[in-house]
Amino acid sequence: MDLFELRARIEQSERAILVGVEWTGPEGDTYSVQDSMAELSALAATAGVEVVCQVVQRRNRPHASTLIGAGKVEELRVLNEELNADIFLFDDDLTPGQMRNLDKILDRKVLDRTDVILDIFAQRARTKEAKLQVELAQLEYAIPRLRRAWTHLSRVGAGSGISGGVGTRGPGRTQLEMDQRLIQRRMKQLRKDLGDMRRQRRVQRSGRAKEFAASLVGYTNAGKSSVLNALTGERHVATEDKLFKTLDPTTRRLEIDDGRSVLVTDTVGFIQRLPHRLVAAFRATLEEVLEADLLLHVVDVAHANPVAQIAAVNEVLAELDGSEIPTLLVLNKVDLLDDAEMLSDIQAEHPDAIAVSAVTGEGIDTLRDELSARAGAGEQEYEFRLPHERGRLLSYLYEHGQVDDVDYGEEEVTVRAHLHPKHIAPLRDYVA
Ligand SMILES: Nc1nc2c(ncn2[C@@H]2O[C@H](COP(=O)(O)OP(=O)(O)OP(=O)(O)O)[C@@H](O)[C@H]2O)c(=O)[nH]1
Ligand SMILES: [Mg+2]
């Protein structure tokens, strides 16, 4: 059996019934069930699935074997006799056991939120590294569910009247163990390959000059790629009103006033309850992104609940140890606001936040100025007298600071420059 048949895959143009739970217990979500279902709908659409119906049940705790109550499951089964959907898509993550039970009763493909997110990532991954990362996450997610695949096999056996019983069970179990070994081996290989790629990039990076670097982070579809395009004035990065349009990081050098430049990196977006395994798989990429001097946290202020999205992004950042990096909130899509109440609420909480529209360009100059100020923060003005034979130090200055004036004298070169004191060591003897 092909390893990859073990995971239910979404086929384009399948039809789905969405199932959500409104939790009434003490640990109520910050995300309302309506917001979460709307998001699940968008995830389904992005994966190419048509949503035929949404069902929500109020519960105060999950049913151990089916998440939702037995009566509700039966209701779904009857409903689908009419609708004949291919998939039941649950907004909450299901345990392997729950999935197995639901699968049996509903007799359709049962998927959860993580399945869809992984599926979108699998469809979207372009670079070799992204593909390997997604595969690793999928296998890690599949392992505890292997038994489910095996149940399928034995059920087919029993139902088709071919063998069933003893004969089906024996090979099934052996097959299961074999699959597990194969998967473990493949995962080991994937981790090794990803580790190699990561080391190689680290070597390349260490040879590069340390320029001021800012990374765009934020909820998926907040407009990170659009902000990068607006800042650079070019459409480098594709944007779309879909979730997880961007997976691979893109870095652009942005020339800001008088010769100073900063590197700006656009990367994958976050989402509430982003699967931990996906975060783990993308850790290498994201860690690199988080080596930035500044995070530009892009927020879609026209969204129904930007505050919950900010919280979700901060949660993922904390998981990646990125909470300590200086962060500037970029409140995007202000052109879509009819009333500015939400905007002023957020601004009251985050006085440094900059309101922009990547579409109309409003506020983008302010953002560029702020980037420039942050990049230059802490720099001091120096005058250096460099001997002619130390020409290399001048290139060092160009790389690490901002050169304001160069005067080639007979004996030496006089340079006035702005430089952060942390870069002063090689030049200390030449300060005028
Ligand atoms: N009206 C309006 N739409 C915007 C603005 N910024 C982005 N959009 C739209 O919002 C959608 C998402 O924009 P992207 O730039 O792709 O968002 P992203 O954060 O990079 O999204 P992912 O890469 O999918 O995580 C696109 O349809 C954009 O055209 C804005 O300021 N105003
Ligand atoms: Mg993007």
Domain boundaries, the chain: 3-123, 125-208, 213-376, 380-430
Q: Which residues are 295's β-sheet partners? A: 215, 327
Q: What residue's CA is closest to ligand 1, atom 13?
A: 223
pLDDT band at 172 (very low <50, low <70, confident <90, very high): low
CB 332 within 8 A of CB 342: no
- Number of the ligand 1 atom closest to the C-alpha atom of 246: 23
Whose alpha carbon is nearest atom 25 of ligand 1? 220
CATH H-level, domain 3-123: superfamily: GTPase HflX, N-terminal domain (3.40.50.11060)
Distance of CA 82 from the midpoint of ligand 2 (Å): 39
Which ligand 1 atom is nearest residue 333's CA? 31
Gap between the Cα atoms of 254 and 375, Å rounded = 12
User: What's phi and psi for 342, nearest 5 deg?
Assistant: -60, -40
Ligand 1 pocket residues where CB is under 6 Å? 218, 220-226, 239-241, 243-246, 269, 332-333, 335-336, 357-359
| Separation in Å, CA 57 to CA 19, 20, 25, 90 | 8, 6, 13, 11
Of ligand 1's atoms, which has the minimum distance to the CA of residue 221? 21
Angle, helix 70-83 to helix 96-106, in steps of 10 degrees: 50
Which residues, at least 6 apart from 92, have a Cβ–Cβ distance to it below 8 Å? 20, 21, 62, 67, 112, 113
Q: Is 93 helix (H, G, I), strand (E, B) or coil?
A: coil
Residue 164 has pLDDT above 60, yes or no: no
CA 343, 344, 349, 353 torsion-angle sign: positive
Domains 3-123 and 213-376 share a fold: yes
Q: Give the model confidence (pLDDT) of 352-369 as tens digits.
A: 999 999 999 999 999 999
CA of 268 to the centre of ligand 1 (A): 13
Polymer length in residues for the chain: 432
For the chain, percent of residues with pLDDT exceeding 90 = 48
Q: 27-31, 105-109, 132-136, 226-230: which has the minimum mean pLDDT?
A: 27-31
For 183-211, what is each residue's pLDDT tens digit?
Answer: 889 999 999 999 898 888 777 766 655 67
CA atoms within 13 A on the CB side of 305: 17
Give the pLDDT score at 203.
77
Domain boundaries 213-376, CATH class: alpha beta
Pick from 390, 391, 337, 393: nearest CA to 363? 337
Torsion of CA 243, 190, 11, 273, to 10 degrees: -40
Written as six digits, the tokens of 193 are: 């390959």
By most ligand atoms within 8 Å of CB, the mutation choice from 123, 217, 221 for ligand 1 is: 221
Band the pLDDT of 285: cuts 50, 70, 90: confident
> Ligand 1 centre from 242 Cα, in Å?
9
Q: How far is the CA of 239 from the centre of ligand 1 (A)?
A: 6
The whole-number pLDDT of residue 28 equals 54
